[in-house]
Amino acid sequence: MKIAMIGSGYVGLVSGACFADFGHQVICVDKEKSKIDKLDNNIMPIYEPGLAGLVQRNVEAGRLSFSTNLGESVNDCDAVFIAVGTPSRRGDGHADLSYVYAAAEEIADAVTKPTVIVTKSTVPVGTGDEVELILSRKLPADQFAVVSNPEFLREGAAIDDFKRPDRIVIGAEVEWAKEVMSEIYRPLFLNQSPILFTGRRTAELIKYAANAFLATKITFINEIADLCENVGADVQEVSRGIGLDNRIGAKFLHAGPGYGGSCFPKDTLALLKTAQDNESPVRIVEAVVQVNDQRKRAMGRKVIQALGGEARDKKIALLGLTFKPNTDDMRDAPAIAIAQTLNDAGAQVVAYDPEGMAVASEIMPDVEMTESSYDAAKDADAVVIVTEWDAFRALDLEQLKATMAGDVLVDLRNIYHPADVAKTGLRYTSIGRNA
């Protein structure tokens, strides 16, 4: 199959490279010339484990190429995937669909044969209908079909998730489009990945319902963690105790500083807007959004409390800035709100992150970036583990303490055992376990 991927970001580039690896002919398009220039020189514009090798292999095999020219790329394709961003619209939290619609307009001008137009971007219910309307103004009805194929990959494990998905959701209204999509995903049929064919609106909603549910699970355990702190219970053991119940499941039950990233914050907000517009409130999700928003700054206050209630002129080192490990994605990372709270309280904030500092230094100008964990900890009054990168899991805590001016270690990911830390003389604060 001949495929064009519009948008070569975290989703478009990974999806495009994986489709090429399945044997399809793929062109990844992006309007940002610097991204395409990098890709043409085999430099990855994002950090995602395994991506560079996958891209290189498929470029060398002649199955994967890159372009800034959407028109030239989409004509003659069997399927054109839209994988552009759908951030929160400033002001009201609705998904900003301007990039999706702009891409649809450009596609409509360029398609020359019957083509399936697939929204892979996360888009609110009804967006496919709007994309169809845009295309129908310029193309005859038999020249195109609009399909929803939401993406569920996780940054940091994106390639594996794409190639071994829990399920593939395809929302299609016409038979020939289902056949094209089946052919595209045939290698995964062979892997026995479940493929769910639904109506287009249903597929669009599945993505939001999935993300809202996962955000709810995280927020639930975060509130239980707060309760644990107040009643002398241990949230790690509560998580294990409930997670072993098959009806609940152990995943997404790790208490922490609140969810962030490029999906959950904007997708929960967008679902709220869809629900309000359709007079069908989702009050649980409303509570989740509110609780999570408050939690990020509350984590900053937790650090201040660990310092004895005063952060002015204290030096605080953040270990980890990205919203999770194994990505350079800083979108809506809890570290941003935590650093802001500490800066507001008069602290000097320094940080180290294995991959996120290039982006972070642009959006966190008041935070000084350093070369390593120990570099960050030098003369610090407190060290705060914000993201659970592997590099922070086995720190030499005695060396860390010797480097610091103070003795406070705040572990917002519970990656250390309180008893181990106690031996080093560090004063340890974690989440939901009275330590």
Binding residues for ligand NAD, rule: CB under 6 A, are 6-12, 29-32, 35, 70, 83-86, 99, 102-103, 121-122, 151, 153, 155, 262-263
- CB of 157: closest distance to ligand NAD in angstroms? 10
- CB of 173: closest distance to ligand NAD in angstroms? 21
- CB of 35: closest distance to ligand NAD in angstroms? 6
Q: Which residues contact 62 (CB under 8 A, 6 or more apart)?
A: none
Task: Please tell me the distance from the alpha carbon of residue 63 to that of residue 67, in angstroms, as a whole number.
Answer: 14
- CB of 288: closest distance to ligand NAD in angstroms? 18
Question: Which of 274, 338, 254 minimizes the C-alpha distance to 303?
Answer: 338
Give 33 or 137: the residue with its C-beta nearer to ligand NAD.
33
Give 35 or 433: the residue with its C-beta nearer to ligand NAD.
35
Give 30 or 355: the residue with its C-beta nearer to ligand NAD.
30
- CB of 3: closest distance to ligand NAD in angstroms? 14
- CB of 82: closest distance to ligand NAD in angstroms? 8
- Whose CB is nearest to ligand NAD? 9
Find out whether 8 and 73 touch, Cβ atoms under 8 Å: no
77 is a catalytic site residue? no
Three-class secondary structure assignment of the chain: CEEEEECCCHHHHHHHHHHHHCCCEEEEECCCHHHHHHHHCCCCCCCCCCHHHHHHHHHHCCCEEEECCHHHHHCCCCEEEECCCCCECCCCCCECCHHHHHHHHHHHHHCCCCEEEEECCCCCCCHHHHHHHHHHCCCCHHHEEEEECCCCCCCCCHHHHHHCCCCEEEECCCHHHHHHHHHHCHHHHHCCCCEEEECHHHHHHHHHHHHHHHHHHHHHHHHHHHHHHHHCCCHHHHHHHHHCCCCCCCCCCCCCCCCCCCCHHHHHHHHHHHHHHCCCCCHHHHHHHHHHHHHHHHHHHHHHHHCCCCCCCCEEEEECCCCCCCCCCCCCCHHHHHHHHHHHCCCEEEEECCCCHHHHHHHCCCEEECCCHHHHHCCCCEEEECCCCHHHCCCCHHHHHHHCCCCEEEECCCCCCHHHHHHHCCEEECCCCCC
Give 10 or 428: the residue with its C-beta nearer to ligand NAD.
10
- CB of 117: closest distance to ligand NAD in angstroms? 13
CA 234 to chain centre: 28
Find out whether 381 and 342 touch, Cβ atoms under 8 Å: no
- CB of 69: closest distance to ligand NAD in angstroms? 10
- CB of 335: closest distance to ligand NAD in angstroms? 17
Find out whether 386 and 257 touch, Cβ atoms under 8 Å: yes
Give 153 or 212: the residue with its C-beta nearer to ligand NAD.
153
Name the packing angle between helices 127-136 and 200-231 (round to 10°): 150
Give 358 or 422: the residue with its C-beta nearer to ligand NAD.
358
Give the CA radius of gyration of the chain: 23
Give 2 or 31: the residue with its C-beta nearer to ligand NAD.
31
**Catalytic residue numbers, as ranges:** 263
